[in-house]
Structure 1
């Protein structure tokens, strides 16, 4: 009987060692980000609809010092992205239609890697604040003429029938402290998918806020209805960077 107990103990120890080894060998990129708890949110999940900047498919939380830029596609003249500029860093947002029972982010990460490498850049796949993400570095020329690189940090979250991608640029691409406020804004984004059928990967339509009024320089700011002190300014649409395009 004592021998049997010893065998059982040995088996229990072996199982624990196997579990520990599996935990050590597991890929951190397998970890799942709990979007429903931490955001970004679907319209049905948002606690309230007031207080946001309404950009059509996206609603953005106002923040002191935040500036918004809408970016257009030259060929179609449609708005394809919104960029949040804050404290010297940027966060570009794009929302896409997605299948009901399929996630897009794993395949899109591969496409980003292929695109960056075809441009002579390098990519590193990491486990970050929102789960798997891609750090891309593209060749660039510094102000003094020396060779350097331009960094972009791609984050993505799959929602119900939509996918939201963010691209962090400037110091936020490499420095966690610089990225913190923009990451917090990303979590508060509300995505409006709508009920209309759309092919997967089609961009969800973006638009200027209804109460936005351009000034002489083309800047746009919301009116005084609520939180004017922290309402972000908006600049006229412009073309977005090619590194953020996906097919």
Structure 2
């Protein structure tokens, strides 16, 4: 998180109510940023994305998308590319301050408590964490990258695992996904760090509803293949 301090000259008169109102308005307006992840209120490059409600996730050939559930809620998504995975979650954040500094500290403490090691590194989206975490069944700790991006009233956390942690070419593919994500925060009040809920894209919801309806029909042919759930690609 970057803080900017401005020293007021003694000879300057106090700010007028009009200037204060203009300053407040400027804070509330969507910020223009040179690169993504993008806010839905900003101008951003068009490309193919799957609409998950709170996230518009870039997709490409060879991508497989899985959804993270918390009870009945969809709270995150995982992009699988060959032997690598990119897990993304979006959270609400305060209007005037980011939370990545705080979240990064909590993540580092959690990694160390689990017997792993962690260090801060400079990445394409700013300071990130490189960790090695003990994994069940693995002889050596597994490398993981934690990426955090503070946006307008939201925070995006991305976790890179697998080959992309050590392979720059594959890493660039997943970093491109992070940089083209669009976050849809919405206007409803949310507590800081509250997950921005996701939803199935329209075509997937339709397929799920159709499957549910077909399951209500008695199975008259036990040898016929039943409905299948297609992956989002």
The normalised TM-score by structure 2 is 0.74
1:29-44 matches, cutoff 5 A: 36-44=33-41
Instruction: Tell me how far 1:187 sits from its aligned partner.
Output: 0.4
Are the structure 2 counterparts of residues 217 and 135 from structure 1 closer, same or farther at C-alpha, using a change threshold of 3 Å? farther
What residue ranges of structure 1 are gaps of 5+ in the alignment?
1-28, 222-231, 233-247
Question: In structure 2, what is the equivalent of residue 83 of structure 1?
Answer: 78
C-alpha distance in 2, partners of 1:47/1:179? 22
C-alpha distance in 1, partners of 2:47/2:168? 30
Question: In structure 2, what is the equivalent of residue 71 of structure 1?
Answer: 68
The alignment yields a C-alpha RMSD, in angstroms, of: 2.2
Q: What are the superposed Cα offsets for residues 87-129 of structure 1, whole Å, 9 maximum, x if unpaired?
A: 2211000000000011100111100000111111110110111
C-alpha distance in 1, partners of 2:148/2:171? 15
The normalised TM-score by structure 1 is 0.70
Instruction: Give the structure with the larger helix fraction.
Output: 1
Are the structure 2 counterparts of residues 219 and 128 from structure 1 closer, same or farther at C-alpha, using a change threshold of 3 Å? same
Q: What are the superposed Cα offsets for residues 154-204 of structure 1, whole Å, 9 maximum, x if unpaired?
A: 001100000001000101122222211110111000000000000000000
* Partner SS state of residue 86, structure 2: strand
* Partner SS state of residue 156, structure 2: strand
Instruction: Tell me how far 1:217 sits from its aligned partner.
Output: 4.0
C-alpha distance in 2, partners of 1:162/1:126? 22
What residue ranges of structure 2 are gaps of 5+ in the alignment?
3-30, 212-226
2:142 to 150, 153, 169: 150
Question: In structure 2, what is the equivalent of residue 126 of structure 1?
Answer: 121
Q: Is 1:55–2:52 an aligned residue pair?
A: yes
Contact 1:142–1:148, Cα closer than 8 Å, also in 2: no
C-alpha distance in 2, partners of 1:161/1:37? 18
